[in-house]
Amino acid sequence: MSNIFVTPQWFYGYDVALELVFAVVTILVSFFAWKIFKVTGERNIRLFSLAFLFIALSYIVQSILNFVIMDRLDDNISTLINLQSVYLLNLFGIYMHSILFLIGILLLTYVALKIYSFQTFVLLFILVFTSLYFTIHKTFMLYLLSTILLGFIVYYYLTNYWENRKPTSLLVLSSMVSLFIAYLFFIFAMDDNMLYYIIGHILELTAYLLVFVTLWIILKLGKQKQKKNGKKAR
C-alpha cells in the first residue's frame, strides 16, 4: 500500500490544479468541435468532439477524487482507516480516469483507422480494457496503451497533412505528436524521474492548447467565409 498514487508523491497536489486546467481546455475543444460538426455535419468531427468529451471527463473525475484524497489525508482520524479509504479511492480514480481517457483515445483511433464499423470499435475496446484489467501495473499500462494508440493517430494526421498541407492540419498533427511524446515521457517517468514527469505534463498541455487554437481558427475562418458569402448574396 506504499505506492498508491497515480502520480509521483512529490507532484501530488500540483497535478490536481493541472488536471482542472486540462479539463477546461479539453471541454472547450469538445465544444468547439461540436460547433464545427453542427455546421459541416462531418462524422469525423462529431467523433472528435465525443473523444475530447471523454478525455475531459477523465480529468474531471481524477481531479475531484484526488481533491477528496488530499482532504482525507488531512483528516485527524484513525491512520489505518484513513489509508484504507485513500487506497480504495485512489484505485477507483485510476480505473475511472483510465477507462474514460482510453475511450477518448479509442474514438480518435477509430477515426484514424477509417473503418466505420461498430464491431471494430467494440473489438478495440475489449482488447484495450482486457489488457488494463489483468495487469497489476495499471498506470504503466495506461501510458503504454495510450502511446501505442497515439502512434496510429499521429500516422493518420501525418498522412492527412501530407495530402492537403493546410496550416490547421499541421497544428493538429503537432498536437498529436506532442501528446504522443508526452506519454512516452510518462513511461520513462515511472521510475519517479521528476524531469520526465514535468516535461510530459508540459507537452500534454501544449497538445490540448494546440487543438484548441486549431478549432478556434477553423471557427473564425468559417464565420468570415459566411460573412463574405452573405455580402455576395446581397
Q: pLDDT tens per residue, the chain (234 residues)?
A: 333 344 555 555 667 788 889 999 999 999 999 999 998 889 999 999 999 999 999 999 888 877 776 665 555 544 544 556 666 777 777 888 899 999 999 999 998 888 778 888 888 899 999 998 888 888 889 999 999 999 999 999 999 999 988 999 999 999 999 999 999 999 988 776 778 888 999 999 999 999 999 999 998 887 777 666 655 555
Residue 234 lies in a domain: no
Residue 98 lies in a domain: yes
CATH label of the domain that carries residue 133: 1.20.1070
* Cβ–Cβ under 8 Å, residues 95 and 62: no
The pTM of this model reads 0.86
Task: Give the total number of structural domains in the chain.
Answer: 1
Residue 4 lies in a domain: no
Cα–Cα separations (whole angstroms), residue 83 to 20, 65, 77, 87: 25, 14, 10, 6
Residue 3 lies in a domain: no
Residue 1 lies in a domain: no
Domain containing residue 204: 9-229
Calculate ∠ Cα 211-187-145, nearest 5°.
Answer: 65
Residue 158 lies in a domain: yes
Rounded Cα–Cα distance for residues 234 and 138 (Å): 60
